[in-house]
A and B are shown apart, each in its own frame.
Chain A
Amino acid sequence: MILHQLIDFELLRLIWWLLLGVLLIGFALTDGFDLGVGTLLPFVAKTDSERRVVINTVGPVWEGNQVWFILGGGAIFAAWPPLYAVSFSGFYLAMFLILAALILRPVGFKYRSKRDSYAWRNGWDWALFVGGAVPALLFGVAVGNVLLGVPFRLTENLFSLYEGTFFQLLHPFALLAGVVSLAMLIAHGAAWLTVKADAPAVVERARRFGITAGLLAMGGYALAGLWLAFGIDGFALVGPVITDGPSNPLLSEVTRGGSWLAAYSERPWIVIAPIMGFVGIGLAVRGLARGGEVSALLWSKLGITGVISSVGLTMFPFILPSSIDPRSSLTVWDASSSHLTLFVMLVSTVIFMPLILIYTAWVYKVLWGKVGEDELNSNKNAY
């Protein structure tokens, strides 16, 4: 097949770096509110019918939303195999916790209403809390660790040796990143509840939690920026950068030193991302304070997009730097799939992604409207 030569290897790598961002953002925007709603569940809803309202606001859509996560995993495997191989084996126990939490969630949604017992339902409510809060926190912790550099090295055969431990992941900066991620998704979930829940007490509590979480996310994000500026070394490629060479991280030289934020003097336009982050979350908080419903949700989406993009744009071209052996660091130019695979995957994405967006939008449209107690009583399939 020579068709793939139509698009340069370099450009394909760049496109797949963007698509990686799109998938992570897609996940955070859709499944993000599910995670936030799960975290908020025990706190914003006190009675059983309130809790059922909260759960059923995401009831019909969480399954589809979660596919963004699965697809994210699959796309990293297909387009960035070294990233998939190094990060998931390195973060082994953290990944196990995320998986366990995410397995609890579907089961909790589906099984909670199948028995009419307080202990049963309350138990599943806390399972849904864990299933929401743990992944939301750990995703942030993982991103924090990536910015810090991950303690792995590659052997000459490209076997990955991870030399850290689970508790090393809990560096204060990484924890801060975890808090930002959790707070941001709680605010997002709160905004969703104000739009979808037809239960005034729930909406009122969600508004208050959402405002606090949004402010916390903004404060934490600002603090993390300062920390990056003054407390954490960045990484840089040394020598001429070959952008279409073989995907072998050991073929390039990397140094540690300087600041990640140097990226902002090299590419000043990327400042748009953190601005979007602050403005989006700030206006979402204002929207929540005014009881502004849909606008708060949309602003929150903009804010999340800004925050996630800012991490990627700051680190470019790095995707997984190594703290103990900078040469092993994975970058956009040396950790991708082959030219042909990237092309095949791009073609599949171009065909299916628009279809996915269209039918997902259609499903949301069909299900549009508030979820209240009346609706739950009339639908025997409700959770």
Chain B
Amino acid sequence: MEFGIVELSRLQFALTAMYHFLFVPLTLGLSVLIAIMETVYVMTGRLIWRQMTKFWGTLFGINFVLGVATGITMEFQFGMNWSYYSHYVGDIFGAPLAIEGLMAFFLEATFVGLWFFGWDKLSKVAHMIVGWLVAIGSNFSALWILIANGWMQNPVGAHFNPMTMRMEMTSFFEVMFNEVAQAKFVHTVSAGYVTAAIFVLGVSAWFLLKDRHVELARRSIAVASSFGLAAALSVVVLGDESGYSATHTQRMKLAAMEGMWNTEPAPAAFTVIGLPDQAARETHYALHVPHVMGLIATRSLTREIPGINDLVIESEERVRSGIIAYDALMTIRAEREDTPQEVLDTFEEHGNDLGYAFLLMRYLDDPRDASEEQILMAANDTVPMVWPLFWAFRIMVGLGFAFIGVMAYFFVVTNFAGGRYPRWALRAAVAIIPTPWIAAEMGWFVAEYGRQPWTVDGILPTAMSVSHLSITSVALTLAGFIVFYTILFIVEVALLLKYIRKGPEQDVEETEEWMARHEHRLRTHDGKGPFAPPAE
């Protein structure tokens, strides 16, 4: 691959976004798990739950801060590296990002400080509510980010305005309730819950193996396995929902994920495994399961799923139609109010394909001068690289099903076998700690790489979305991010390990000191009100 400004910008975005998502899933899930633990503490008054809340809270804090720090980059990167994208779709895409700040991030960030610093300043119930507000804030945050991302996959509720040369919103309601966004939201937060559940499970298993903090570890496994089982089921169900909506919103992505080159008679077979070959347009050594693909993707026995080759033919027609739209657009821009009605009508008819004409701008400045060969090249460009998608998708799905198994196993042993976990199972639980992150990153890879060559599906090609920057500038910042983020990652992991090794001792100690202080207060206060001591 030749590294131009587009490739460097994509690499930087992929790197910073995927890095950000190392921290986000744990924040999403752990915030909820901790709020659950604190709720148990408030309801039962048992101090072990207070220690659990504080112990997992410390790890949450170390992770949370890097999520916040790397999120700053995300908010500004669109303008920095994707200037034309920002201009072209900012009218729609900017709104959910801003609402995320207003509704979610403010809530989360304002209360997270109080949660850590407010143990002695708030009543038990108020402190627990603050914890829930942090969890709600981070989950709402994910909602709005996925509404923004969902719009890039399925751009509803918007139209092109020739006078401003950009997409403008026509229905906020449609943008918000975009089916792709809603399915993605639940899928993504559930994946975060699974990540946190596996993390808590793995760390607790390590304590059990070392025979340390057994009470805390057992209770943590109990919470993590039941929470994680529900979440793991939800990830798979909503993942299926995402696949289903892709059959009418992103057919090319779906075909590429499945390595489906030709349209097959319904219901199509599912390719479990194989070696996709882009040049030959064929998947070698494919292992098929008859009918399954058609059933999953269309939920019917009769609807066909189009293959890549047929979709390319469709793209070619749309490129031609796009050229007509582009020609009309040029007239409209030159004539403004004096544009003849028939040109407006032409644009009305072909305007939806304008983005396909932009695909030609990689090859020449004016799409109207495109040769037949260039039109075919542009149509072929609508096929993303198949093998990375094919494999990334299979790794994600395989892990997703495995998580259900892991969670179900620990759930059963906890609840029906007296919590006698075999040592091999505990060791396995420690070993699989990194896997939910792999699954989550694969998921994002499929979603975003599978959208290529578009930043906004069918509307704006990636190659056109970039800023006018020098290669040196982008190379410099890319190198800067790599160095900087690597250092931060090492520091973060070292600190997490240090605090895991330390275990909850300081929380136990702190809880005792805290009790002592409360007894003092009990003598000076009447024992009621916000400083009332815990029930135990």
Contact = CB atoms under 8 A, between A and B. Distances in A.
B95 interface: yes
Contacts of A117: none
Contact of B171 (A1, A74, A157, A246): A1
Contact of A73 (B76, B91, B119): B76
A95 B122 CA distance: 39
Nearest to A375: B120
B498 A114 contact: yes
Contacts of B92: 341
A158 B100 CA distance: 28
Given A70-B75, A70-B101, A158-B165, A85 B117 contact: no
Interface in B92-135: 92-95, 97-103, 105-107, 109-114, 116-122
Interface in B158-213: 161, 163-166, 168-173
B73 A111 contact: no
Given A248-B165, A337-B91, A59 B117 contact: yes
Given A61-B113, A85-B83, A348 B121 contact: no
Contacts of A88: 76, 78-80, 83, 86
Interface in A336-357: 337-338, 340-341, 344-345, 348-349, 352-353, 356
A344 B107 contact: no
Interface stretch (A179-187, A214-222, A316-324, A359-367): A359-367
B71 interface: yes
B98 A89 contact: no
Contacts of B93: 77
B87 A158 contact: yes
B94 A381 contact: no
Interface in B267-296: none
B325 interface: no
Nearest to B96: A78
A60 B81 contact: no
A63 B163 contact: no
B109 A63 contact: yes
A15 interface: no
A46 interface: no
A247 interface: yes
A100 interface: yes
B138 to A, nearest CB: 12
A75 B101 contact: yes
Interface string B61-90: 110011011111101101111011011001
B495 interface: yes
Contacts of A380: 506-507, 510
A247 B69 contact: no
Interface residues of A, number: 75
B91 A341 contact: yes
Interface string A28-45: 000000000000000000
Interface in B30-87: 57-58, 61-62, 65-66, 68-73, 75-76, 78-81, 83-84, 86-87
B86 A85 contact: yes
B333 interface: yes
Contacts of A7: none
A107 B491 contact: yes
Nearest to B172: A344
B105 A67 contact: yes
A246 B161 contact: yes
A341 B95 contact: yes
B477 interface: yes
Which of B68, B83, B111: most chain A CB closer than 10 A?
B83
Given A162-B468, A341-B95, A81 B72 contact: no
Main SS at interface, chain A: helix
Contacts of A111: 62, 65, 491, 495
B499 to A, nearest CB: 8
A352 B477 CA distance: 35
B476 interface: yes
Given A87-B79, A100-B484, A379-B119, A246 B164 contact: yes
Given A71-B106, A84-B94, A378 B173 contact: no
A251 B66 CA distance: 44
B161 A86 contact: no
Contacts, number: 256
B114 A363 contact: yes
A129 to B, nearest CB: 17
B517 interface: yes
Nearest to A64: B110
B434 interface: no
B473 interface: yes
B94 A382 contact: no
B444 to A, nearest CB: 21
B51 to A, nearest CB: 12
A93 interface: yes
Given A1-B172, A64-B110, A345-B98, A382 B80 contact: no
A77 B98 contact: yes
A329 interface: no
B90 A67 contact: no
A92 B474 CA distance: 9
B480 interface: yes
A100 B77 CA distance: 12
B488 interface: yes
A237 B241 CA distance: 53
Given A85-B83, A157-B165, A345-B98, 13 more contacts: A60-B118, A61-B113, A70-B105, A79-B98, A84-B90, A89-B469, A96-B480, A99-B76, A103-B73, A110-B61, A159-B87, A161-B468, A360-B106
Interface of B: 57-58, 61-62, 65-66, 68-73, 75-76, 78-81, 83-84, 86-87, 90-95, 97-103, 105-107, 109-114, 116-122, 161, 163-166, 168-173, 333, 467-469, 473, 476-477, 480, 484, 488, 491, 495, 498-499, 506-507, 510, 513, 517
Ranked 5 nearest A-B pairs via Cβ: A81-B90, A88-B79, A78-B94, A77-B94, A64-B110
20 contacts: A60-B114, A70-B72, A70-B75, A71-B106, A77-B79, A77-B90, A78-B98, A84-B94, A89-B468, A103-B70, A103-B73, A107-B65, A111-B65, A160-B83, A337-B94, A340-B168, A344-B169, A348-B102, A352-B102, A359-B110
